[in-house]
Chain A
Amino acid sequence: MLELKNVYFTVQEREENSGGLRNIIDGINFTFEDGKFYAITGPNGSGKTTLAKLIMGVNPVSQGAIIFKGQDISAWTITERAKAGIAYSFQQPARFKGITFRDLLTVATGIEDENKLLEILSRVGICPLSFLDKEVDAKLSGGEIKKIELAITIAANPKLAIYDEPDTGIDLWTIGPMVSLLKKELAENHTTTIVVSHNRAFLEAADVVMIINSGKVVYSGNLEGALPLLDDLSVCTYRDSCEGDRDAGCYR
């Protein structure tokens, strides 16, 4: 349903770092199959978010092509991709002034009817009713805004849903329900799901784990096969400060 054909994203390095060209995404070829759950993981700075944004059209591909349901969408705008059925949950969701959760749901779904909005809320489960008229502004906690972001993405009924680190700022006991929710959406609505995450819960839920390192796909397959590589990569530069003796449950 989504095919990446020799996709590159290239940036100009700053003068002090040679000023040359650098491939953030370095020639990725990959096919995402319809109705499957993908987890993209890899070290910090490996290109996971960049790849996800290329699919949504937030950044243009420098080379190569993105084929979505048989059409080359490489030159499409974000709006066109959204209308074609791609939705994106941002790692750091935008905060507005004077725009409520209800407003965003209405933009995403075209639905204004109160009862239908309530139906959506009960479907996404994660958001209490009291969220509906909350402004999506700087006053929301990190966890609240991520739940709202996720709910809006689901409400849009996408064919392809991309979630960039949906668990950031989410309390640990909500991650389980979040994984179940994404799996339920996939099962009931056949939503092809891509989650960028380091969280064990998402990696375990995925049909396919994809590991990206230095802008290349270094592994794709089941979690079992990924584990040695994840351990081996010793990819996390934060391990000492983050985990210490405690296991934070991530594969960074």
Chain B
Amino acid sequence: MHSPVTPDSKPFLHPEAIKRIARLELRARHIVEGFLSGMHRSPYFGQSVEFLQHREYAVGDDLRHVDWKVWAKHDRLTVKQYEEDTNLRCTLLVDVSGSMQYGNGPLNKYEYACTVATSLAYLVLKQQDAVGCVAFDEAIRTTIPARSKRNHLFSVIEGLRLSEPREKTELNTLLRSIAENHAHRGMMILISDLLADPEETLKGLQQLRRRGHDVLVFHILDDDELDFPFSGPIRFEGLELPQHLNCNPRALRDGYLQAMQEHLALLRRGCADAFVDYALLRTTDPLDAALAAYLNNRLGMHHRN
């Protein structure tokens, strides 16, 4: 069964994984409103001062951005444009419900999810961006507000640690309330096994998108859940609800896998439709490899824009 998360944060910061991710840069897929310059095109003004280019003045441009030195030399109205790193608000939505307690490998899904969340938090903080954290199951259990201080990482870890996973995941209402509580646009990273009604889950994700958030979904699943390698008579007992089933798993495998694939396909398609980045992670996948592959992918998508 689940072993309680230790006060020591080290288990979530596998040094190897962090080291490899540190060579990469987290890129947002969409330009975040507030910052027009920097690596992340922020929709916000005046936060960064890295010059990008000159542009001819057009009617309606703010006169504060006219480069008067160019006007003095060339008698032309030119507007200076900047691009600079914005202060990204990244919020990690970590599912700590009972279903996350399943795990047959070295890490169960909850531990894996925490590790991923911590790694991302560290990465975000290293980029001087702000990171926050929401741990939820049936309802929001802990909310860590976004900060960009280096030592904020420990707050995030603390927030995750305190969240003892218990109950059923219900994502729609949950995501809606999160959207309402986070008025500032930013990045929402949902780390969950998504074992809930997919329609409701997608609705919740669409809510986040509608608020202008850039949404990433890390779908954490165990190998057993994907491959269903069981044999011999087994009594399956529900982790969240008091259900149980005596069966020969071999007989049910095909049907299970089919249902699982339908579920995954539905999620993947729904995410794609809502411009939500979706990635399926197995708990046996190397943490660094999974993150690196995902971030590479995201960077590639950014350059294509």
Q: Do A and B truly interact?
A: no
Interface residues of A (CB under 8 A from B): none
Interface residues of B (CB under 8 A from A): none
